[in-house]
A and B are shown apart, each in its own frame.
Chain A
Amino acid sequence: MRRGDRDTAFTAYVAARQGAMRRLAFALCGDWHRADDMLQTAFTKLYLAWPRLQHEGVEDAYLRRTLVRVSIDESRRAWRRRERSGLDGYDRAAVPATELEESDAILTALAQLPTMQRKVVVLRFWMDLSVDETAHDLGVAPGTVKSHTSRAMVRLRELLAEPVSEVR
C-alpha cells in the first residue's frame, strides 16, 4: 500500500470512529484527557499495523482491544496521570444542571467501581461483548469476568439504590 493511500484510508477511519472510541476510552478511565491520551496511543498502534489490519478487516476489534489494554497498562502504572491537564480547545458549553445530575449518577457510580469491574461493566453491558470476548480483550479468564461482573452489579445496585436481584 502506498503511503498516501495508507494515510488517506487511516484518516477516514479515524474521522469515522474517533467519537465512538473516545467515549469508550472515557467510559473505561473516567477522564476525558486521559481518554484522549489512551486513544492517541491506540490509534498510533493501529497506524503502525494498518496495512495488515485493514486487509483482514479487523480494525475495530484491534482498536478496541488496544484501547482496553492501554487502559489496563495505565491503571497499572503508578506514575500515570491521575488528573490530566493539557486541554487544547476544550469546549465548555453550559448544560442544564438537572441533565448533568442525571448523567452524573451512572458515571459517578461507574467511577466508584474498582478498575477491572469498571472495564468489565463497560465492555459487557455497554459494548455488548460476550463473557468470552470480554475475557479476550482484558486478557483474563472467562471465570474472572463473571466474578467481576457479579461483584460490579451488586456494587452498582448499592450505588444506584436499586433493589438487589440475581445476576448471571
Chain B
Amino acid sequence: MDDLHLKSRLDQALERQLEPMRPEVSEILAVSQGARRRRNARRSGLAVAVMTALVLGTSWFATSALSRLDSDSAEMASDPSGQPGSEPTAATEDESPSNFVVPQTDAEFTSVCRHASYSSADAKRRLFDAGQAELVAKTSNSMRGWALFESRGGALWGRCEIRRNVVEMAVFRTETDDTPADHYVRSSTVCGGGDCLTEAWLATKLPSQVATVWINFADNQVVRRATADGWIAMSHLLDLEVGEPAIKKVIYLNDGGAVLGEYVPGAGGQATDLPTLASYPALSEGQRLNYKNGNYTD
C-alpha cells in the first residue's frame, strides 16, 4: 500500500519543479522525420545493393563480401590493443549543414564561456575571477563547441558547452572518484541547420596515467587524441539511427603506448574481460556548484 502518498507528493513536487521550457513540437517532428528519411534511405540502399548483387551474379557478390571483410580487418588492425604502436586512421572533419560559428581561439572560447547565459553567476565568479581559471582543453564541430577550464591551484574546474543559441558553463569542485562512467565517451542528439545528428563527446580530465585516447566510432571513423595533463576535449558528429550506440570501442593508453583500459559498449556496460580504468581515480562530476534538480541557483 502506498501509505507514503507517493502519487500526490510526486504530483505536487513535479508541479512545483522548475520545469525547463519544452522543446518545440516542430523540432520533435523534424527530428522524427529525419530519422524516417535516414531509415528509408538505408532500406533503399540495401535493396539496391541486393538487386545489384543478384544481377551481377553470385561470384561478384562473393568477391564484394570478401572485400568488405578485408576492409573490416584493416580497420581492426589499427586497434592499438591488438597491435601496439600501429597508427589508426584519422577521422575527417565533421561536415554537416549548419551556419553555426564556434569560437576558434582560446581567448574567444574564454570570453564566450565567461558570459554563458545558462550558469550560476556566483560559480562563474569563483572560477574565473577568484580562481583565475585558464582554458585547459577545447574542441568543436559544426554544431557545438566544448571548453574546459581549471582554476589556479586546481580547486575548481569548469566545462563550457556552446550551442547555436545557448552557452552553458558548469563549475565543479575538483574531486576525484573511481566512477567509471566519468571516463567514457558520451553521446546525444544535436540539431541544427535543419538536420539532427548524434554527437559523441568526451570533455573531462582523465587519470593522469592516460596519455592518449583512441576511439573507434560507429561510423568507422577513428580518432586518436592526446591528453594534456589528463585534460581532454574531443567531439564527433555521426549520422545514426535513433538510439544507435555511437561508439564501437575506446582504448586508453599510457605514454609508453601500453593499454591501461578499454571499453566496448554493450548491454551492461563494461565488458568483464577488458582492463578498466576503474582503478585510476578520475575527476568527479558530482560536485557541481549552485546546481539542483536540473537548474542553476545563485
B-side contacts of A44, CB under 8 Å: 31-32, 35, 242
Contact check, B16 vs A126: say whether CB atoms are below 8 A apart: no
A125 touches B7 (CB 8 A): yes
Whole-angstrom distance between the Cβ of A66 and the nearest chain B Cβ? 9
**Which residues of B in the span 28-49 have a Cβ within 8 Å of any Cβ on A?**
28-29, 31-33, 35-36, 39
Tell me if A107 and B294 are in contact (CB < 8 A).
no
**In the complex, A82→B18 CA distance in Å?**
19
A105–B189 CA distance with the chains assembled, in angstroms: 31
Given the complex, which residues of B lie within 8 Å of A10, measured CB to CB?
A: 29, 32
Q: B83 on the interface (CB 8 Å rule)?
A: no
- Is B4 an interface position by the 8 A CB rule? yes
The reply on B99 being an interface residue by CB < 8 A is no
The chain B residue sitting closest to A37, CB to CB, is B188
Binds A, one of B68-76, B131-139, B177-185, B206-214: B177-185
A107 touching B33, Cβ below 8 Å: no
Cross-chain contact of B185 among A45, A79, A167 (Cβ < 8 A): A79
Alpha-carbon distance A2/B250, docked complex (angstroms): 44
Chain B interface, DSSP helix/strand/loop, else mixed? mixed
Q: Which residues of A contact B190 (CB under 8 A)?
A: 86
Residues of chain B within 8 A (CB-CB) of A110 are 10
B39 touches A48 (CB 8 A): yes
B189 near A11 with CB under 8 A, answer no
> CB distance A79 to B265 under 8 Å?
yes
Q: How far, in whole Å, are A153 and B1 apart by their CA atoms in the complex?
A: 10
* CB-based contact B189/A47 at 8 Å: no
Q: Tell me if B56 counts as interface (CB < 8 A to partner A).
A: no
Smallest beta-carbon distance B4→chain A, Å: 6
Q: Which residues of A contact B269 (CB under 8 A)?
A: 76-78
CB distance from B134 to the nearest CB of A (A): 21
Q: Is the CB of A18 within 8 A of B22?
A: yes
Please determine whether A15 and B19 come into contact, CB atoms closer than 8 angstroms.
no
- Known A-B contacts A32-B19, A40-B189; A79 and B181 likewise in contact (beta carbons under 8 Å): yes
B10 touches A84 (CB 8 A): no
Scan residues 266-298 of chain B and give those whose CB is less than 8 A from a CB of chain A. 267-270, 285, 288, 292-296
With A43-B28, A79-B247 in contact, is A19–B186 under 8 Å at CB?
no
Report B215 CB to chain A, min CB distance, Å: 11
- Cα–Cα, bound, A71→B247 (Å): 19
Contact of B6 among A83, A102, A103, A106 (CB under 8 A): A106
Contacting pair A47 B20 (CB below 8 A): no
A145 to chain B, nearest CB (A): 14
- Report Cα–Cα, A82/B182, bound state, in Å: 8
Q: Assuming the A-B contacts A31-B294, A160-B4, are A26 and B245 also in contact, with contact meaning beta carbons closer than 8 angstroms in the complex? A: no
0/1 string, A25-56, CB within 8 A of B gives 1: 01100111100110011011111100000000
* Residues of the A chain whose Cβ atoms lie less than 8 Å from the Cβ of B170: 83, 85
**Chain B 234-262 interface 0/1 with A at a Cβ cutoff of 8 Å (1 = within):** 00000000110101000000000000000
Counting CB contacts under 8 A, is B142 at the interface?
no
Q: Is B23 an interface residue (CB 8 A)?
A: yes
Rounded to whole angstroms, the CA-CA distance of A88 and B164 in the bound complex is 9
Known A104-B292, A106-B13; judge A79-B186 contact (CB<8 A).
yes
Q: Are B163 and A86 in contact, CB atoms less than 8 angstroms apart?
A: yes
Task: Tell me, in angstroms, the Cα distance from A27 to B13 when the chains sit together.
Answer: 10
User: Are A157 and B29 touching (Cβ within 8 A)?
Assistant: no
19 contacts between A and B (CB under 8 A): A11-B26, A14-B28, A26-B294, A36-B23, A44-B31, A44-B242, A48-B32, A79-B265, A80-B186, A81-B188, A85-B168, A87-B166, A90-B21, A90-B118, A91-B19, A92-B18, A95-B16, A95-B18, A104-B293
